[in-house]
Amino acid sequence: MVLKKNPNIMSKKIFIKTFGCQMNEYDSNRIFDAVKKIGFEKTDKYEDANCYLLNTCHIRDKAKEKVYHEIGRVKKIFREKKKPIVIVAGCVAQAENQEMLKREPYIDIVIGPQSYHKINDAILNFLKNKKKEEETEFDTISKFNYLSQIKNKDSKVSSFLTIQEGCDKFCHFCVVPYTRGPEYSRPFNQIINEAKELIQSGAKEIILLGQNVNAYSYDEEDKEYRISDLLITLDSFDKLERIRYTTSHPKDMTDDLINVYKNSSKLMPLVHLPVQSGSNKILNLMNRKHSIEEYVLIYEKLKKINSKIEFSSDFIIGYPEEDEQDFKMTMELIEKIKFINSYSFIFSPRPGTVAADLKLVDQKKSKQRLEVIQKKLFDNQIQTNKSLENKILNVLVENKMKDGIKLFGRTEYMTSVIFDGNIENIGKIVQVEITSSNQNSLFGKLTESSKKKVA
């Protein structure tokens, strides 16, 4: 199938606003790769757009209302101008579908995450017939087959690559199985070919993405390909410097994946592994399918392989029936593992999930617990960053800061580093001496040896 530009709609401009996770960022990039084929250029100025696309996320609280608020803002911006085509994409679009078109007439197209291969037809049909469209079928195979024919020209130093979508875990608090569908793993060679395209476009780091990324499993010719096979293959690519993957589930942290850390020189030593709670009682109520003992065993196996491996995680505070003992267990787990970077939130019910109608923990209590846990997690971050002062770290330089003077890069543990340098450093791993730090970032100066390499 040859995809050609349509000469009738050249020089149209699309503004894409992305909410939520890294997969949405990847999706937005691939959406743009698709709409380029029908003549759209990307604009960073929303007021110049002929097409305004919101790629939405349903994970956080009030996600739906945020979308309608954003549409209200767009209406004001274009009050005195020609209305753009307004598209709502992503997980809120999937969850709300036809309801969005009924509630907000300003929206023209609603398209779910598994229907992005239909976006060009939807836009062209709307331009021709002015007929509103809703596309929210789960058709993951067709989507990735279509997108595999379009080069991924993401030229970022650190680039995302989706390998798996959807979820079969059905955690009682989570909407992902309903908005992204069942677990689907892309063909192995399709992923490797896209990785090669990214590397050709300048990617030095690839981050493999999936709702359950380590559940990746693709069968071909009597062989099962796992995420471990992908990691080993990527490790062999000369021009690729770093490999990461997110988000993992403890249930799928199998020994073949753990063992990759023994031999891979490019797989980074930060493991993001959401635990959600330190209490087995709460994990069982959440339907998480793993125990704290199993989680700690994964931690111990990885630390035994490489003592420099560190963990980050996600925590839900105030899940229904959480009591002081459950909360204490979560604090004990944090004390044991000393997560260097984590996300924590008060439980927020999601319509359609098992936990949606459960009795909430007193909100005042939940807020107090969140404050306690965040202080502990943030203290861990601050102490970790403080311990790196006066040390020399390897930093992959990603871009220039908005001030146009300093450079931005990341350590092996994903920590942000801001330092003086020049554009020749971008895309390279340089050595930076850390001079100061705060909770989220490190600050430093390029070492003399790194300066000489560039010169």
β-strands 392-400, 429-437: how paired?
antiparallel
Tokens of 449: 């040896």
- The helix/strand/coil state of 447 is coil
Cα separation of 346 and 12, whole Å? 42
Query: Letter for the amino acid at 382?
Result: I
pLDDT grade for 258, boundaries at 50, 70 and 90: very high
Residue intervals in the chain for CATH 2.40.50.140: 389-446
> Which of 110-114, 284-288, 302-306, 400-404 has the weakest average pLDDT?
400-404
CATH superfamily name and code, 389-446: Nucleic acid-binding proteins (2.40.50.140)
pLDDT of residue 358: 95
pLDDT tens digits for range 63-100: 788 899 999 999 998 988 899 999 999 999 998 888 99
DSSP state of 48: G
Q: Which residues are annotated as a binding site?
A: 21, 57, 91, 167, 171, 174
Query: Letter for the amino acid at 378?
Result: F
Cα separation of 61 and 93, whole Å? 15
**Cβ atoms of 125 and 133 closer than 8 Å:** yes
Query: Letter for the amino acid at 4?
Result: K
255-263 helix and 292-305 helix, angle to the nearest 10 degrees = 20
Per CATH, the architecture of 142-383 is what? Alpha-Beta Horseshoe (3.80)
β-strands 51-56, 12-18: how paired?
parallel
Burial zone of 132 (CB within 10 Å; 0-12 exposed, 13-18 middle, 19+ buried):
middle
Cα separation of 267 and 259, whole Å? 11
For residue 405, pLDDT over 90 is answered with no
Q: Which residues are annotated as a binding site for [4Fe-4S] cluster?
A: 21, 57, 91, 167, 171, 174
292-305 helix and 324-337 helix, angle to the nearest 10 degrees = 10
Mean pLDDT (whole number) for 293-314:
97
Q: Is pLDDT larger for residue 10 or for residue 61?
A: 61
Could you confirm whether domain 13-139 is CATH 3.40.50.12160?
A: yes
Residue intervals in the chain for CATH 3.80.30.20: 142-383
**Cβ atoms of 317 and 373 closer than 8 Å:** yes
Cα separation of 242 and 446, whole Å? 20
Cα separation of 333 and 296, whole Å? 9
Cα separation of 293 and 204, whole Å? 36
**Cβ atoms of 315 and 342 closer than 8 Å:** yes
Residue intervals in the chain for CATH 3.40.50.12160: 13-139
Cα separation of 333 and 344, whole Å? 14
Computed over every residue of the chain, the mean pLDDT equals 92
Q: What percent of the chain has pLDDT over 90?
A: 80
pLDDT tens digits for range 358-399: 999 999 999 999 999 999 999 999 999 999 999 999 999 999
